[in-house]
Amino acid sequence: MQAVTPCMTGKSGISVQDFLGLSRPKGIIKVMNSIKSKLRLWLMIGVTVVVAITGLMTYQQNRSQDEEDYQAQRASLQARLALALPHGVWQMDDAYTRLTLDAELGWSSVLAIRITGDAGLNIGRIRNNDTASLRDMAPAEKPVADDTLTIPIIYQNREKLGVATIYLSRSQLAHRQTMHLLEILLEILVLDGLIFIVMTYNLNRFVFDPLKELQRALDQAASSNDARSLRLTEATQDEFGAVRRSFNRIVDRISADLAMRTAAEAQARQERDNAEQALQQLVQTQQTLVESEKLASLGSLVAGVAHEINTPVGITLTTASHLATSTLHITEKLDNGGIKKSDFQAYLDSARECCDLILSNSERAASLIHSFKQVAVDQTSEQRRDFQLNDYLSEIVTSLKPRFKRSQTNITIDCEDDLLLDSYPGAISQVVTNLLVNALVHGFEEKPGGNIHIRAERYQAAEVRLSIQDDGKGIPAENINRVFDPFFTTRRGNGGSGLGLHIVYNIIRQRLGGTIEVHSEVGKGSVFIITMPCTAPEVSHKEGKR
């Protein structure tokens, strides 16, 4: 349950919090962030600034006028006393002089007037503090005044009889100016209050109540699945009525879009399921083709090595048969006692020659079998070990010589002797084999008797760079960026699967942790450059699509 905040409610049903814009939670911070509060605030600021400027201008004008009036009355007072006092002082008529002074003390800004002169002349009149009555000034009395005015008393332009000192106060002037400022402030407060009340009422009625209704509809739209239930009434013909009509059109449009999207999502889910099923079948087919490519490569290797071994083995068998026949003949002669020294010497020469042939051809067959065994085992296993790259490249080339023998392709190796790798020899064997076979099949298809150069060197501190370059027919520019794509081949229907270089790419990137790039020029050959670490990363041996 939500807590209910008590609030005062008037007869109109609008609470004090709603009237002041404080009905929402989070108090003043949220109020100050509302458009209603900002509108009221800026409008009141604008009115306040305008009224303040005009009030200050009026105040300044009144102040200048008051100052001019004060200076005019001061000058008039000076002129009147300069005209009236000489006669009374000359006649020594103190009563007349006091009456003259009392008459001038009628101006509220005059505090006191003192006349001093020769022969002990000292007449002064002063206003009492608590009443408007006047009294004589004591000879030593000096009132506190804001302004003083001294007038010489000269009788008929001949003789100076004394001096009249007038003590003036500017408090009345300051009081009028202060009251005018208070009137300006009161006017600002009254106008701001009226604007606040009128703006609050009218904004709530004509702007924010319709906005709240629209906001509630939008909030419901965010949590509702039925957009058509969010339609608003279109009773008014003002701007908010137009907004309601636009909102209803949007609701209708969204309803139609939601229906279409629901149908599209259902169709997309069905197509996604079909695509996933097709992808699984494609992956299985690709894996089958990859394994077939591996087995085909291994089968070709077996056939080539078997054909190559057949020659030394045949020579060995023929020589051994000849040696056996010669041995039988010499044995018969020895048994019959008819053997000669020349016959025995001829037998020994023939036996020595046969042994040399048997030994050399047996060693040749053993070397071929050893190379084939090492390469075949590596290609069919995932074992990691330390090996010398130079020796291993020689074993790979030896195992492939039967296949390259017919095409008279010359393969050379340029590799540092101490280049030790901690890697996967089977993966390297498959990469080199595929690249060499690719050069034979595609590079020398119409150019037998070409050259392939294998170069391996240390690159930086912990990497090796292996390049395989041929002088075949090269790769066209339109195919150079597609050679590593799966199932891309220019020999479709002639035995090409399009997976050889794709397998090479995946092995180098995923198992050996390296990179491969190709450069080619039509008619001048191609070069594949492999950069890989001397110590292969610990990664999964499972080959995948790049």
CB-based contacts of 441: which residues, under 8 Å, 6+ apart? 491, 496
**Cα 304 to Cα 399: distance, rounded to the nearest angstrom:** 8
**pLDDT (0 to 100) of residue 115:** 86
155-166: pLDDT as tens digits = 777 777 788 888
Domains 16-223 and 384-546 share a fold: no
Residue 302 in this model has a pLDDT that exceeds 60: yes
What is the bridge-based pairing of β-strands 410-415 and 451-459?
parallel
CA 340 to chain centre: 102
In the DSSP assignment, the letter for residue 6 is P
Among the ranges given (137-146, 279-288, 427-436), the one the predictor scored with the smallest mean pLDDT = 279-288
**pLDDT (0 to 100) of residue 457:** 93
Residue 222 in this model has a pLDDT that exceeds 80: no
Higher pLDDT, 56 or 8: 56
Among the ranges given (193-207, 280-294, 403-417, 496-510), the one the predictor scored with the smallest mean pLDDT = 280-294
**pLDDT (0 to 100) of residue 515:** 94
φ, ψ of residue 2 to 5 degrees: the values are: -90, 145
Higher pLDDT, 274 or 229: 274
Q: Which two tokens stand for residue 470?
A: 């041929």
Span 215-241, average pLDDT: 66
**pLDDT (0 to 100) of residue 516:** 94
**pLDDT (0 to 100) of residue 542:** 47
Span 67-92, average pLDDT: 81
Residue 24 in this model has a pLDDT that exceeds 50: no
Span 397-421, average pLDDT: 84
Query: Where does the pLDDT of residue 48 fall: very low under 50, low under 70, confident under 90, or very high at 90 and above?
Result: confident
Beta bridge partners of 506: none
Let me know: does 290 contact 499? Beta carbons within 8 Å. yes
Angle between helices 389-405 and 239-336 (to 10 degrees): 80
Q: C-alpha angle 213/218/221, rounded to 5°?
A: 130
b/e sequence 145-160, b meaning 16+ C-beta within 10 Å = beeebebebbeeeeee
Residue 465 in this model has a pLDDT that exceeds 90: yes
Let me know: does 104 contact 155? Beta carbons within 8 Å. no
Residue 530 in this model has a pLDDT that exceeds 90: yes
**pLDDT (0 to 100) of residue 389:** 92
Mean predicted lDDT score pLDDT of the chain: 77
**pLDDT (0 to 100) of residue 540:** 53
**pLDDT (0 to 100) of residue 5:** 39
Residue 365 in this model has a pLDDT that exceeds 60: yes
Domain spans, the chain:
16-223, 228-380, 384-546
**pLDDT (0 to 100) of residue 227:** 59
Residue 468 in this model has a pLDDT that exceeds 50: yes
The candidate with the shortest Cα–Cα distance to 536, out of 514, 518, 516, 515, is 514
Span 323-327, average pLDDT: 83
Residue 10 in this model has a pLDDT that exceeds 60: no
**Cα 143 to Cα 137: distance, rounded to the nearest angstrom:** 9
Let me know: does 115 contact 134? Beta carbons within 8 Å. no
* Highest-pLDDT range among 123-132, 258-267, 383-392: 383-392
Domain 16-223 is in which class? Answer: alpha beta
Burial class (CB in 10 A: 0-12, 13-18, 19+), 281: exposed
Among the ranges given (109-118, 140-149, 296-305, 414-423), the one the predictor scored with the smallest mean pLDDT = 296-305
Looking at the domain 384-546, which fold is it?
A: Heat Shock Protein 90 (3.30.565)
Query: Where does the pLDDT of residue 372 fall: very low under 50, low under 70, confident under 90, or very high at 90 and above?
Result: low
Helix (H, G, I), strand (E, B) or coil at 151: strand
